[in-house]
Chains A and B, each alone.
Chain A
Amino acid sequence: MPEARPVMEATLKGAPGKRSARSLLASLEIDGRLLGMVVAMVVVWIVFNFLSDGLFLSPRNLWNLSVQSAAVAIMTTGMVLIIVSRNIDLSIGSILAVVALVMGLLQTEWIPNGLGLGLNQPYTWIVVLAVGIALGALIGALHGFLIAYFGIPSFIVTLGGLLVWRGASFGLVSGRTIGPLDSTFQLLGGGPRGSLGETLSWLVAGLAISALVYGILASRRRRRRYGFPLRAVWADVTLGVIGSVVVAGAVWIANSYPWPAALAAAYAQEHGITIPPGGLPTGIAIPVLIAIGIAVVVTVLATRRRFGRYVYAIGGNPEAAELAGINTRLTIMKTFILMGVLAAIAAAVTSARLNAATNGLGLGVELQVIAAAVIGGTSFAGGIGTIAGGVLGAVVMQSLSSGMVLIGVPTALQDIVVGVVLVSAVGFDSYLRRRRA
């Protein structure tokens, strides 16, 4: 264990004199770009709230927004890693469709009829989900293998995948719509029953805040042990407080969205409870919890595991990565396997939400996901991009789309707005980077 060495640079303790915005950011050690994204999102929200006479920031709309963004956010986490390592995946929409259809057929026909088990058995959903994820991983592995070991460009392989898997999904069902789905599986899609309710939501909030505080304390402890400069106490406290407020606020909003009256009455009767005066709180939707969980897991993979380190190194300098003895081919293949798994999870969330699997599912979603990643700061040159940025990008994009429907913007204009925002955001970011460099 290395000895604590004397600190080499002055710590930023105390609060003497005035401080510029930049040094403030530096003290907090927040990525300026990420903060910029958050600011942009808040601005979009406030503008839409004003234009919609207060509808946009209502609990109902924000709750809807969280669910509507979930599937794209889930897939964006994986796309960030793929773009960072200088690749692209155009096939995710088609993977989504074929996996959703296989999962749909499994739970409505193959398991009930084929295995004679009947519909709506308690554990059908686990089997179905496991098969779906395995299928997504397999497809991703196939793509990854062709790209990493045969050297076929990812654009071509995944373009082929886009066509092949879309064709396969049509062939599976000849265009039929599969539905309704298993009653437990449906919960993965959200809705009142597919949400945590008040108590569990607060529990999740409590866990998140504890994890945040523990993380800050652990970071201080680690820095002290190695003799690194510490973040100022006020900075740590500020971060902790802001983080906790955001988490608590989000859960409070989710709990402020009540069940539809009729459903609440039925539920109350079923379970013999009384409905509180404000209505039955909905709480965090399950697909949103899944999306957040996935964002955390993928962020850990990207920043705290060798896999993630290698992905970024390959993106920064593929030759250097090779010379450092990294198994670059296996790393690339893993990024595509991960993408396949995430597409499968998105398939579960999307079809559960729709309570049906159609073969048009996921059409065009790859472009939404790539746009979200890019708006979130991922660069096509490789090596640059964060998971959190990508998720924020997905939320911003969905806020734009939903907000425009809310205020009644004509469809043609909606597409124009989204396109202009995408180009402006990326253009502005490039300009800033060049100025900083």
Chain B
Amino acid sequence: MSAAESASAIPAAPREPLVEMRNIRVSFGGVHAVDNVSVDLHAGEVVGLVGGNGAGKSTLIRALSGAHPADEGEIYVSGERVSITNPRDARTYGIETIYQTLALADNVDAAANMFLGREITTSLGSLNDAAMESATREVIGRLNPNFKNFKVPVKSLSGGQRQSVAIARAVHFNARILIMDEPTAALGPAETAQVRDLVTQLKAQGIGIFLISHDIHDVFDLADRISVMLHGKLVGTVDKDKVTKDEVLAMIIIGKRPEQVSETEMATLIN
């Protein structure tokens, strides 16, 4: 465990996973959106979660973030069984999420969004806006030195600036586990590069990241392992170093592990 926490050493994946989701099942009215899926994540590791539309990856991760608890299955954080029924629970275990839609309240400013639900209060219980603003300036300043508009509603900010707020919110509160849902979907190349740098930084700090993406190239750049889902089931989890992009594509579309795919199927797929 100390290997992961020491900042100087390149972290070797410790034996015990940071997060383990076992036999997760989520149903919506009789349909299994997630059917008996097990994934895990180690400290300092990025696990890419990929799959087509409706594969169930968002639903699986919402069970971890507390947005929609699982119907069956268990979740373990650092080896301990935990119960996550709402977003607050997830936060207590150091799980932070950057949602695809960013989940920002458009009518309030960056500081209010940063601290939404866990505001800094004075001894009388009033909001300490000054402290929150100060902390926000600091955190966002490190992420995005060009960010200036701290007092305007976030609705007026650009896509990249809004992303900065969402990211700052996720990293400020000592997250150990970060969930990133389509983080680069709405970003241009410069901002995408920033996100990549951030992920590398966070990995070095020993934070474990679940990265959901439909973009194979992004996933291959960032992830250490890749878990593929199709129709609610887990097709398989592979080490990035041991597969090609086409093989992963095959897993996504056909649902077969690399060793199961025939040459003809592979040929049809590539063309």
Task: Let me know if chains A and B touch directly in the complex, using CB atoms closer than 8 Å.
Answer: yes
Q: Which residues of B contact A325 (CB under 8 A)?
A: 66, 86-88, 91, 117-118
User: What is the total number of residues of chain B having a CB less than 8 Å from a CB of chain A?
Assistant: 37
Binds B, one of A169-177, A202-210, A310-318: A310-318
Whether A317 pairs with B138 at a CB distance below 8 angstroms is: no
Cβ 8 A contact of A2, one of B118, B135, B141: B135
Whether A222 pairs with B130 at a CB distance below 8 angstroms is: yes
Whether A228 pairs with B133 at a CB distance below 8 angstroms is: yes
Whether A309 pairs with B104 at a CB distance below 8 angstroms is: no
Cβ 8 A contact of A305, one of B88, B126, B133: B126
A155 within 8 A of partner (CB): no
B244 within 8 A of partner (CB): no
Cα distance A2–B141 in the bound complex, in angstroms: 15
Mask: chain B, 95-133; 1 = CB below 8 Å from A; 0 = not: 001010101111110001100111101000111011101
CB nearest to B91 among chain A residues: A325
User: What is the total number of residues of chain A having a CB less than 8 Å from a CB of chain B?
Assistant: 31
- Nearest Cβ on chain A to B124's Cβ, whole angstroms: 9
Whether A312 pairs with B107 at a CB distance below 8 angstroms is: yes
Whether B91 pairs with A225 at a CB distance below 8 angstroms is: no
Q: Known pairs A304-B129, A317-B103; list 10 more (Cβ under 8 Å).
A: A2-B138, A226-B134, A306-B127, A313-B108, A316-B108, A320-B113, A323-B65, A325-B117, A326-B117, A383-B105
CB nearest to B145 among chain A residues: A8
Whether A323 pairs with B103 at a CB distance below 8 angstroms is: yes
A384 within 8 A of partner (CB): yes
Q: Which residue numbers of A lie inside 8 Å of B, CB to CB?
A: 2, 5, 8-9, 222-223, 225-228, 300, 303-306, 309, 312-313, 315-317, 319-326, 383-384
Whether A225 pairs with B108 at a CB distance below 8 angstroms is: no
Cα distance A226–B128 in the bound complex, in angstroms: 12
Q: A313-B105, A317-B106 are in contact. Are A226 and B116 (CB under 8 A)?
A: no
Q: A320-B104, A323-B87, A325-B118 are in contact. Are A309 and B138 (CB under 8 A)?
A: no
Whether B127 pairs with A383 at a CB distance below 8 angstroms is: no
Whether B87 pairs with A324 at a CB distance below 8 angstroms is: yes
Cβ 8 A contact of B127, one of A9, A222, A305, A313: A305
Whether A226 pairs with B130 at a CB distance below 8 angstroms is: yes
Cα distance A144–B117 in the bound complex, in angstroms: 21
Q: A309-B112, A322-B87, A323-B87 are in contact. Are A2 and B119 (CB under 8 A)?
A: no
Inter-chain contact count A-B, CB under 8 Å?
92
Q: Which residues of B contact A313 (CB under 8 A)?
A: 105, 107-108, 112, 116
Q: Which residues of B contact A320 (CB under 8 A)?
A: 103-105, 113, 116
Cα distance A400–B181 in the bound complex, in angstroms: 53
CB nearest to A323 among chain B residues: B103
Q: Which residues of B contact A228 (CB under 8 A)?
A: 130, 133-134
Closest 3 CB pairs of A and B: A324-B117, A316-B107, A383-B107
Q: Which residues of B contact A315 (CB under 8 A)?
A: 107
Q: A312-B107, A325-B88, A326-B117 are in contact. Are A226 and B112 (CB under 8 A)?
A: no
Q: Which residues of A contact B86 (CB under 8 A)?
A: 325
Whether A5 pairs with B138 at a CB distance below 8 angstroms is: yes
- Nearest Cβ on chain B to A218's Cβ, whole angstroms: 10
Q: Which residues of A contact B97 (CB under 8 A)?
A: 323
Cα distance A309–B128 in the bound complex, in angstroms: 12
CB nearest to A4 among chain B residues: B134
- Nearest Cβ on chain A to B140's Cβ, whole angstroms: 11
Cβ 8 A contact of A321, one of B101, B116, B127, B133: B116
CB nearest to A84 among chain B residues: B107
Cβ 8 A contact of B105, one of A5, A227, A312: A312
Cβ 8 A contact of A223, one of B87, B103, B130: B130
B67 within 8 A of partner (CB): yes
B25 within 8 A of partner (CB): no
Q: Which residues of A contact B118 (CB under 8 A)?
A: 325
B137 within 8 A of partner (CB): yes
- Nearest Cβ on chain A to B118's Cβ, whole angstroms: 7
CB nearest to B92 among chain A residues: A325
Cβ 8 A contact of B108, one of A222, A226, A305, A309: A309
Cα distance A326–B105 in the bound complex, in angstroms: 12
B32 within 8 A of partner (CB): no
CB nearest to B89 among chain A residues: A325
Whether B130 pairs with A324 at a CB distance below 8 angstroms is: no
Whether A316 pairs with B134 at a CB distance below 8 angstroms is: no
